A and B are shown apart, each in its own frame.
Chain A
Amino acid sequence: MIDNPVIFYSASFLLILFVLGALFARNIIYSLLCSVVVFFLGALFFYVLGSEYNAIIQAAVYGLAVPVLIGISIMFWHNGKEKEKRAEKFTIPYITLMCAGIFVLAFVYLVMMSVAMVPDTFCIKELAQVNAFDNISVFAKGIFVNYVWAFELVSLLLTIVIAGLSLFKKRGA
């Protein structure tokens, strides 16, 4: 686990910035690119928290596979003639107000943390100390021993999804 305030605050700032960019960018491609950055920053948070395996899965699935899927869907969706041109309802002052509210909240929280108004009894002092090998063994034990029924149920659910989508396409929706 990496306890570095510079990494945390810079990554947090970039995360919120790109989240807002993804939500309010006018071009959908820019929105997708911002979301890719957000997903990779999420993987960075997982890595900083000591969960390398989750970070790899996050980067592989959400940083690479999901944006490709969304990009292909954008290509399909905007292939035909767009019949309507929507006016953008959310104006700049509204977005500015929301961003200001979020950053004021963050500032108040940081001030409270700096003057130690938050009770410290909740957080356990002893931090997790695991290396990569222990991390993988913890995952294996969790998936295949402690939560094996949940794992099987998820597998069954994914199989049902695949079969359902195949039937859905066969019937022509």
Chain B
Amino acid sequence: MDITIYHYLFIGLLLFLCGLIGSVLVKNVIKVLISIEFMLMGVNINFVAFASFCDNITFDGYIFALFYMGIGAVELAVAIYIFYLMYQKKQSDSIDKYSDL
């Protein structure tokens, strides 16, 4: 059986759903950030899959994925720094304690 675009879209969907479930259900702040990165990676897989299967000329999905990776890494760094500053006051890594963010 050949591997089609649907396979990659489904893997991206699974990854996005797992990240969404994790970001909603898990209480640890670091795990929430990791879950968000999983969601971003699922979206990136979709971008690259569409570029590879349906765009033979400009490959715009590659460029979008590249931008997305850079922005996602910086967003993670900023979020970790903000949570670290709040951790010094809260002394807890539970996301419930950060409701006044």
Contacts and interface: CB of A to CB of B under 8 A. Distances in A.
Interface of A: 1, 3-5, 8, 12, 15-16, 19-20, 22-24, 28, 31-32, 35, 38-39, 42, 45-46, 49-51, 53-54, 57-58, 61-62, 65-66, 69-70, 73-74, 76-78, 80-84, 86, 89-90, 98, 102, 105-106, 109, 113-114, 118, 120, 122-124, 126-130, 135, 138-139, 141-143, 146-147, 150-151, 154, 157-158, 161, 165, 168, 173
Interface residues of B, number: 65
A54 B66 contact: yes
A23 B27 CA distance: 10
Nearest to A16: B14
Contact of A51 (B10, B51, B77): B51
Interface of B: 1-8, 10-11, 14-15, 17-19, 21-22, 25-28, 30-31, 33-35, 37-38, 41, 44-45, 48-49, 51-56, 58-60, 62-63, 65-67, 69-71, 73-74, 76-78, 80-81, 83-85, 87, 91-94
Interface of B is mostly: helix
Contacts of A16: 14-15, 18
A45 B38 CA distance: 14
A102 B81 CA distance: 33
Nearest to A74: B30
Nearest to B79: A73
Contacts of A138: 58-59, 62
A106 B63 contact: no
A39 B73 CA distance: 12
Contact of A3 (B2, B30, B67, B70): B2
B7 to A, nearest CB: 6
A33 B93 CA distance: 19
Contacts of A38: 38, 41
Contacts of A8: 3, 7
B37 A51 contact: no
A163 to B, nearest CB: 12
A158 to B, nearest CB: 6
